[in-house]
Structure 1
Amino acid sequence: MFSWMVWTTPVAVFFISVAVMLVGMTMWETRAPTMERKGFLPIATTRGDRLFIGLMCAAWINLAWVGLGEKMMAWFSLAEEPSIWISLVLSMLALGLVMRKG
């Protein structure tokens, strides 16, 4: 069923992290309903809104990293493409920033 996708360890960790976040946010929402608040994002958002925006940012960071991998090899004179683990860490930091300050 999922044979079309390259299931590497970083990809699996990313999707498992997303699933854990969704389950955790669901449980958090049932115990303590959220209220809208205004952060650095241009709109008032709830936790769920910030999670969605953060996950979208994380996805774009990972896609950009994969798409620019060969170019980064040339720009930085690397022997091989930079590790996908770096993009995973960057995307989770971006998600954390949006969730905390967004």
Structure 2
Amino acid sequence: MEWMAWTWPTAVFFMIIATTLVVFTILAIKFPETPRTGVLRIETTRGDRLFITLLGSAFINLAWLGLLSSPQWGALIVSFCYAVAVFRWV
């Protein structure tokens, strides 16, 4: 797999995403969820909120890379705050 240029940060990123999906699957089986309506006025489940969080975090990181010259750790902190807000209010 040398052609893919895997680095440890890349591998860790994909391991975290895979682990999150497994955990959310287990949670959905053990604790069935009911959709709720948040500030977006659409019904969302845990999985929907996870998707919104991942998509928004990708855009935050891309904007951070394109607009700022600060270290990427700042985007991680902003993305974490965004995730907390999505799971709390959406």
- Superposition map of 1:34-53 within 5 A: 34-53=33-52
RMSD over equivalenced CA pairs, Å = 1.9
SS at match of 2:40: coil
Q: TM-score, normalised by structure 2?
A: 0.82
Judge which range, 34-43 or 52-61, deviates more: 34-43
User: 2:29 is matched with which residue?
Assistant: 30
Counterpart residue type for residue 35 of structure 1: T
Structure 1 length-normalised TM: 0.73
1:13–1:96: structure 2 CA closer, same or farther, 3 Å change rule? farther
Distance change (3 Å), C-alpha of 1:12 and 1:97: farther
> What residue ranges of structure 2 are gaps of 5+ in the alignment?
none
Q: For residue 77 of structure 2, what is the aligned residue in structure 1?
A: 89
Larger Rg: 1
CA contact 1:54–1:94 (8 Å) conserved in 2: yes
Aligned residues: 88
Q: Deviations over 1:8-62 (max 9, x none)?
A: 74x5554443223212111111101111101112311111111101111111000
Q: Which has the higher strand share?
A: 2
Contact 1:62–1:87 (8 Å) recurs in 2: yes
Give unpaired runs (5+ residues) of structure 1: 70-80
Counterpart in the other structure of 1:19: 18
Residue identity (%): 42
Whether the 8 Å contact between 1:14 and 1:88 is mirrored in structure 2 is: no
**1:77 alignment counterpart:** none
Aligned to 2:64: 65
